[in-house]
Structure 1
Amino acid sequence: MMEPVAAPTGPNSGRGAVSPSTGHCARHGALRRSWVALVVLVALVAVGAAGALPGVQAQAPGGAVHVIEITGPIDQGLPPYVERALAEAADADAAAVMLAVDTPGGLLNAALQTQSALTDTPLRTVGYVEGQALSAGALLTIATDEIYLTPASTLGAATPVRGSGEPADEKTVSAVRATFRATAQATGRDPAVAEAMVDPAVTVDGLVGAGELLTLDPREAQARDYAADIVPDRAAALAAAGLADAEVVETGVSPAESTAQLLTHPVLAWGLVIVALLLLITDLSAGGVGAGAGVAAVLFAVFLWAHAVTGLAGWADIALVVAGLALIAAELLVFPGTGLPGVAGLVAVLGGLFMAQLGRELVTTEQLVQAGFGVAATLAAVLVGLVAAVRMLSRRGPPSALALTARLDGRTAAVARGGGWLRWFGGRDLVLPDDEPAADTPAGRPGAHPAAGDTAPATPSGAGPRGAASPVDEAEPPPASLAGAAGVALSALRPAGVADIDGERVDVVADGEFIPAGAPIRVLRDEGYRRVVRRTHPSPTDPPAAGDDNGSRPPRPAGDT
């Protein structure tokens, strides 16, 4: 970095001037605050998602029967509810767990997760069907150790279907049939009967023929050992199971599980992602980490928390999303215009969200298509929204963290065209040095630069934030600025690199073009710790790169922007 130059004195060193050391400290402080805020936001995403991991459950009275209600369509909120209820029953040393089932079925992924929890528990499980246990509900009922049916109940009809109601592909049917067979074998029941509930091609002598899907009534179920007894109500089922004297503990759905169930709906989930990405990118591209990025971090944390609670998202998905957000922030705050970190970050975020939508069990073709459509819709919405948002910001020129930092450094905040990939979206809120006024000010129009040696007029009190000129000699940039200085690129600028300016190594970034090492350059403006440079072509009239005989910096040509 360049060594600090002594603060100027004279008529142009009034209250608007800021010493180089003060500006240097201000830049350091602003940069530290931005990174601290970014770290806090990323940690919020990770901690919010980590809060969904299973923890220590509350204990209930020992020796009781814990009842788990499975009513209505099965959705992604069921697995965490059943897993929590089983954990509480195990911690309380429950005598048994009763699964009270009355469902037409539902999501296959949710049923598979719940079935795994039921078959893995060491507790005694009792299935009680008081209406219907069809499709996914049949699988959960078969996963219990003993089954009791009411006289009007049914069990079976479990062939998988798409969301449109059409039968699923053969691959999915085969996988589900194998799951039913394995579950029936694990609980000591005839596997052929379970397979016939899934695949019409399976026949069972005296029960179902080819081309028919099996649904058992109570008598058929009892005859095939798929029902221990037929009972009139739940109390009779407990008595038949030898649990008439046991205390009954009803385990309901918690508010967190209900909320997570709502937030994992595809439309609402992808809506959260779209809003979060728009807020994050527009806030960071405006020059800092502010309220928009904070709200975006909260939305991402809510999304990941809901999908972790429901068992869809794992640590790998969460890590991928957090890494992607860090890459997007690096693109906008550390390596602006590079492109690669931003693209990689967006791919990582969408990839992590895509995997979180799929879950960790059997993935069907329909789920792949649905998740893929969600990613495509999110990307399209983000691009369209980003174009609109950045164009609006470029017209309005709102204050940002970068603009506030610029004022601390004694520079003027103005709206200018952005560099690198942000040009695709129409503009970016940038900061121009005092000796480089905005294009919409009189001094910024072609031919309006004062000649070398002239003094720019002082800014009137109360001038607006755009187009104001600083009371600084136009021919001599302020001490903290290198605008107008010439030098040589020490490394290739693609676009960032290092250059020799006045005999010092300075971090620079090319203004939208590749500059090879050894090429002559000139500083256009300052952006934080880096200088934006443009390649110049040597000629007999070019000023020396290191200054004139007395070591002063050459004046900037009037037409150079």
Structure 2
Amino acid sequence: MSSTWPTIRRVRLLFSLLCLIMAMTMFISTPATTSAQSYQKAVWIPVDNTIERGLESFLRRAFADAEKLQADLVILHINTPGGEVGAAENIGQLIRQSPLHTIAYIDNQAFSAGTYIALNANEIVMTPGSTIGAATPIDMAGNAADIKFISGWSEQMKAAAKLNNRNPDVARAMVEIDNEFPGLKPKGTVLSLDAHRAKELGYADQVVAGKDQLLAHLGVSSDTLEAIEPTGGELVARWVTSPVIMSLLLVIGLVGIVVELFAPGFGVAGTISLVSFGLYFFGHYLAGFANWLHIGLFVIGILLMILEIFLPGGIVGAIGFISIVTGLVMAAYDTKQGLASLGVAALVTAIVAFLLIKRYGVKGLFNRFILGDAQHNEEGYVAPKDQRDLLGKTGIALTALRPAGVVKVDGNRVDAVSVGGFIASGTTVTVVQVEGTRVVVAEQEQKE
């Protein structure tokens, strides 16, 4: 028994060493994170500035292009203060439904709607000094949205967090101001996380020093990484489809029309108005929200409003107004937003019109359509010049008469009309009839 005991101990020791060697081999060969898998093709897509419908349109195109390139990895470079909730919801759905592995890379900030977009990605990678959170929705005045809207948004943030097994209470703490979350935030504040705190709470899968370390972490070569950037048209679309800019363009367009009505001829105000409406439709068309039907409705409406000047009665003008409103609202990405922006523009335009009428009077609005001269009683009746002495005299046609033109009789220029057809310039004419200010001439017959 005693002779076999050392042998058993040796066997156990060898077995333990073998297990330790196998464990160390497995540890060395196993990737540190799930991101270290091999990717064949990676694309880099910027998600910067304010989140709006133009960005949504660009990202739809970018993801489609990534699939055409047969990419299997999408890196979203997120740097945004937030933006429109509706656009963020659609972008989140786009990411979830994409078959491509998506990484949200945050090297500065991903607040509000940007946080929601990041939570829909498969992984979140941050750099030291970057932040994520502060996702309470606010209205256009900068105040927190109503409790009903906040509650709904909080649920969406929770759902996005659960996609990758992140703590949903952290997502709620980023949204709900009036609730306390022990260990996360006190009541009356919203939660924001720096990179290291986000890593601790599971809201960052990796913290890297920068882009180079990110690519090394992913096993992607910078030489093979392909960037998909927005086109010039898409940049314009992003700018135009911002709710603030959209409303501003409509204000400028409508105010320009009103100002133009008070100014003779077509000038600066009319040009600015056309440029504003052109940008409005151009941006929404490139973003995929407007089409030629909407543009056509607007143009027809403008033409009908002009026609109303010559065909008074109100019906043509009313149809034109409805056509303009329909075209503008239908071209917007959202009917409610379109009506809201148009309502703001109409209110500002009404105020400007009131001030102009108060300054110049109603007459200023129609001075281009009515006779400007008036006969004043104190001036007495001014009779037209008696030209009966011209009857029978001859002269020369200074201009061609078609049938109206100018002739020279007794050294004076006289407005005249021909008896019948065309009389060429330089032809000798005879005054054959005078009725008040109307002088009628005929081509002088040549004697044989």
Name the CA shift for 1:198/1:315 in 2 (closer, same or farther; >3 Å): farther
Cα offset, 1:158, TM superposition: 0.6
What is the aligned partner in structure 2 of residue 142 from structure 1? 119
SS in 2 for 1:198: coil
Quick check: 1:341 aligned with 2:341? no
Quick check: 1:132 aligned with 2:109? yes
What is the aligned partner in structure 2 of residue 95 from structure 1? 72
Higher relative contact order, structure no. (Cα contacts within 8 Å, ≥ 6 residues apart):
1
User: Relative to structure 2, which stretch is displaced further, 183-192 or 131-140?
Assistant: 183-192
Q: Tell me the distance in 1 between the aligned counterparts of 2:300 and 2:165.
A: 47
Quick check: 1:159 aligned with 2:136? yes
TM-score computed with the length of structure 2 as normaliser: 0.62
* Runs of at least 5 residues in structure 1 that lack an aligned partner in the other structure: 1-61, 392-421, 432-437, 479-561
Q: Tell me the distance in 1 between the aligned counterparts of 2:228 and 2:330.
A: 31
What is the aligned partner in structure 1 of residue 257 from structure 2? 277
SS in 2 for 1:345: helix
Deviations 1:200-237 (A, max 9, x none): 34565654455442223334433444222222222332
Contact 2:88/2:116, CA 8 A, preserved across alignment: yes
Q: Tell me the distance in 1 between the aligned counterparts of 2:304 and 2:147.
A: 41
Q: Tell me the distance in 1 between the aligned counterparts of 2:200 and 2:293.
A: 47
Q: Tell me the distance in 1 between the aligned counterparts of 2:63 and 2:250.
A: 31
* Runs of at least 5 residues in structure 2 that lack an aligned partner in the other structure: 1-38, 392-404, 418-432, 441-448
**From 216, 228, 235, the counterpart of 2:212:** 235
Q: Tell me the distance in 2 between the aligned counterparts of 1:457 and 1:194.
A: 96
SS in 2 for 1:84: helix
Quick check: 1:181 aligned with 2:155? no
Contact 1:65/1:98, CA 8 A, preserved across alignment: yes
**Paired residue type of 2:62:** A
Quick check: 1:377 aligned with 2:317? no
Contact 2:81/2:110, CA 8 A, preserved across alignment: yes
SS in 2 for 1:176: helix
**From 239, 259, 263, the counterpart of 2:236:** 259
Question: What does 1:388-399 align with in structure 2 at a 5 Å threshold?
Answer: none
User: Relative to structure 2, which stretch is displaced further, 183-192 or 290-299?
Assistant: 290-299
SS in 2 for 1:259: helix
Q: Tell me the distance in 2 between the aligned counterparts of 1:292 and 1:439.
A: 29
**From 302, 305, 313, the counterpart of 2:279:** 302
Contact 1:456/1:474, CA 8 A, preserved across alignment: no
Deviations 1:255-275 (A, max 9, x none): 223334445625751355136
Quick check: 1:360 aligned with 2:360? no
Quick check: 1:193 aligned with 2:193? no
Query: Which structure features the higher share of helix residues?
Result: 2
What is the aligned partner in structure 2 of residue 37 from structure 1? none
**Paired residue type of 2:320:** G
Q: Tell me the distance in 2 between the aligned counterparts of 1:113 and 1:457.
A: 82
**Paired residue type of 2:76:** L
SS in 2 for 1:232: coil
Q: Tell me the distance in 2 between the aligned counterparts of 1:213 and 1:293.
A: 47
Task: Provide the alpha-carbon RMSD of the alignment.
Answer: 4.9
Name the CA shift for 1:119/1:475 in 2 (closer, same or farther; >3 Å): same
Deviations 1:461-506 (A, max 9, x none): 499xxx9786775799x9xxxxxxxxxxxxxxxxxxxxxxxxxxxx
Contact 2:290/2:330, CA 8 A, preserved across alignment: yes
Cα offset, 1:197, TM superposition: 1.3
Deviations 1:74-111 (A, max 9, x none): 45653333333223222222222111123332344543
Contact 2:249/2:276, CA 8 A, preserved across alignment: no
Cα offset, 1:303, TM superposition: 2.0
Cα offset, 1:146, TM superposition: 1.1
Contact 1:100/1:129, CA 8 A, preserved across alignment: yes
**Paired residue type of 1:162:** D
**Paired residue type of 2:58:** Y
TM-score computed with the length of structure 1 as normaliser: 0.51
SS in 2 for 1:165: coil
**Paired residue type of 2:324:** V
What is the aligned partner in structure 1 of residue 199 from structure 2? 222
Name the CA shift for 1:135/1:380 in 2 (closer, same or farther; >3 Å): same
Q: Number of residues paired by the alignment?
A: 362
Deviations 1:503-550 (A, max 9, x none): xxxxxxxxxxxxxxxxxxxxxxxxxxxxxxxxxxxxxxxxxxxxxxxx
SS in 1 for 2:174: helix
Name the CA shift for 1:223/1:185 in 2 (closer, same or farther; >3 Å): same
**Paired residue type of 1:174:** S
**Paired residue type of 2:318:** V
**Paired residue type of 1:79:** E
**Paired residue type of 1:155:** I
Quick check: 1:425 aligned with 2:365? yes
**Paired residue type of 2:257:** L
**From 145, 166, 170, the counterpart of 1:168:** 145
Cα offset, 1:159, TM superposition: 0.5
Deviations 1:424-457 (A, max 9, x none): 93345479xxxxxx977xxxx979599xxx9898
Deviations 1:262-303 (A, max 9, x none): 4562575135513663598799x98xx999989966653332
**Paired residue type of 2:173:** A
What is the aligned partner in structure 2 of residue 81 from structure 1? 58
SS in 2 for 1:130: strand
Identity of aligned residues (%): 27
**Paired residue type of 1:157:** A
Contact 2:77/2:104, CA 8 A, preserved across alignment: yes
Cα offset, 1:117, TM superposition: 3.6
Q: Tell me the distance in 2 between the aligned counterparts of 1:379 and 1:310.
A: 30
